[in-house]
Amino acid sequence: MLSIALRLRSEPALGLIGGRTEKIVTRTFIAALPLILIACSADNATGQNAADAPAKPFKTATIADFDSPWAMTFLPDGRALVTEKAGEMILFDPKNVDQSWGGKIRVQIQGRPKVDSEGQGALMDVVLHPQFTQNRIVYLSWSEQGPGGKGVALGKGEFSEAPSVCTGQPCPKQPILKNFQIIFRASPYVEGDGHYSGRIAFSPDGKYLFFTNGERQKFDPAQDPKATLGKVLRLNLDGTPAAGNPLAAQGFHPAVWSYGHRNLLGIAFDADGRLWEQEMGPKGGDEVNLIKPGLNYGYPKVSNGSHYDGRDIPDHAPGDGFEAPKVSWNPVISPGGLLYYSGNLFPAWKGSLFIGGLSSKALVRVKLDGDKASKADQWDMGARIREVEQGPDGALWVLEDGDDGSQGRLLKLTPAG
């Protein structure tokens, strides 16, 4: 039987994730199996999560285990691109099992940018161009070092596959991002390793790219008109600021769409074209916001949370001039990714938002009703959830972030029974 590469964890160092202390774990590989990830099918003993409570309306299958994954997206053929914190991007086929090798094939994609993965740094979001089937373009975000410190960058490249030169089987094609180029950088770059944000979403008409820049744990840049930090940005697909952004005439950076945000770790359009965003608040006050052009969402002048040193922040109040969240949490959930669910596999949840919970170790559902939102469900997942994605068949795919007993499992959720 094929031996499995062992992985040991070194002693963890402490870092801040969204203002909440988290173990940042480095791992030492004693042995490696290139391109192979040992997988667990839905039919074996680990396919059904033993911790699932009977009341959960879904069953959980463990599909794979990655190394601190951050985001994923599905290709049109059903394969997936998965980013990992340290800077790797993996091409993974959930269906391609070679029994002679005992696992599912995963291939590292070449042509990736150089990533600074200290603290909250990572190779972050991965999103396909709206016309991917024609142009094969993939967009990435990541944290990097640069003049003045560190910041979040946005780039794109053409996904291509070439025959590999290897012996034995399997011998998958070698994927690469050709002609990769950086198209946008947050400004300014500053010292520190936190609150990069870096989420990407395309407008429903496919003409614009929306990009989140966190305030980098510096507070005031979220209100600074010249900085992109603490903002939602609207860009052209080539990374240039889109014409007609609402605050440019007022002296703001020309890319700014909305401002007064903290750490924006999820962004998604609903079926009616509304833009929803979730962000980690300070000590309390995690938020779901309906993003509207030109509005100030208040941070750090107002928040439903408080500073970590105990200083109060005024709560949102009617008439204060700031846009209040549609939903907020205190105690916090530490929101990870954000998904607008449009599938048919879970018909009762169609039109809902799904959020990964980090410190809460939860999958969270938010019900939408036009421009209103309300808390609906919160399921204990037993591990920190970084990302939620919708699969081609409408299943929910969930990425753990790689702490608390897992490298970072990929889970598939399907209806119970």
pLDDT of residue 255: 98
pLDDT at 111 over 80: yes
pLDDT of residue 105: 67
- Compute the average pLDDT of residues 14-32: 37
pLDDT at 30 over 70: no
For 167-283, strand residue ranges (E) read: 174-185, 197-202, 208-213, 231-236, 256-259, 263-269, 275-280
Residue extents of the structural domains in the chain: 7-415
Q: For 254, which DSSP code?
A: T
- Judge whether 324 and 289 are in contact, CB under 8 Å: no
pLDDT of residue 265: 98
Label residue 95 by pLDDT band (50, 70, 90).
confident
| CA 84/CA 105 separation, integer angstroms | 16
DSSP secondary structure string for all residues of 305-331: SB-TTS---PPP-TTSSSPPPSEEESS
pLDDT of residue 273: 98
The architecture CATH gives domain 7-415: 6 Propeller (2.120)
**What's the burial of 148, exposed, middle or buried (CB within 10 Å: 0-12/13-18/19+)?**
exposed
DSSP secondary structure string for all residues of 345-410: SSGGGTT-EEEEETTTTEEEEEEEETTEEEEEEEEE-SS-EEEEEE-TTS-EEEEE-S-SS-S-EE
Q: pLDDT digits over 40-84, tens only?
A: 333 333 333 434 445 899 999 999 989 999 999 999 999 999 999
- Compute the average pLDDT of residues 227-249: 98
Label residue 131 by pLDDT band (50, 70, 90).
very high
pLDDT of residue 291: 98
Query: Going edge to edge, which strands form the sheet with 231-236?
Result: 197-202, 208-213, 231-236, 256-259
Compute φ and ψ for 249, nearest 5 degrees. -70, -15
Q: What percent of the chain has pLDDT over 90?
A: 78
- Within 10 angstroms of residue 105's Cβ, the number of other Cβ atoms is 19
Q: pLDDT digits over 349-394, tens only?
A: 999 999 999 999 999 999 999 999 999 999 999 999 999 999 999 9
pLDDT of residue 254: 98
CA of residue 21 relative to chain centroid, distance: 19
Assign 3-class secondary structure to 125-142: EEEECCCHHHHCEEEEEE
Residues catalogued as catalytic: 195
Closest alpha carbon to 58 in 401, 397, 409, 404: 397
Label residue 250 by pLDDT band (50, 70, 90).
very high
- Compute the average pLDDT of residues 300-321: 95
Compute φ and ψ for 222, nearest 5 degrees. -65, -25
Q: pLDDT digits over 189-236, tens only?
A: 999 999 999 999 999 999 999 999 999 999 999 999 999 999 999 999
Question: 27 or 329: whose pLDDT is higher?
Answer: 329
Closest alpha carbon to 128 in 54, 222, 194, 209: 209
pLDDT of residue 404: 63
pLDDT at 13 over 60: no
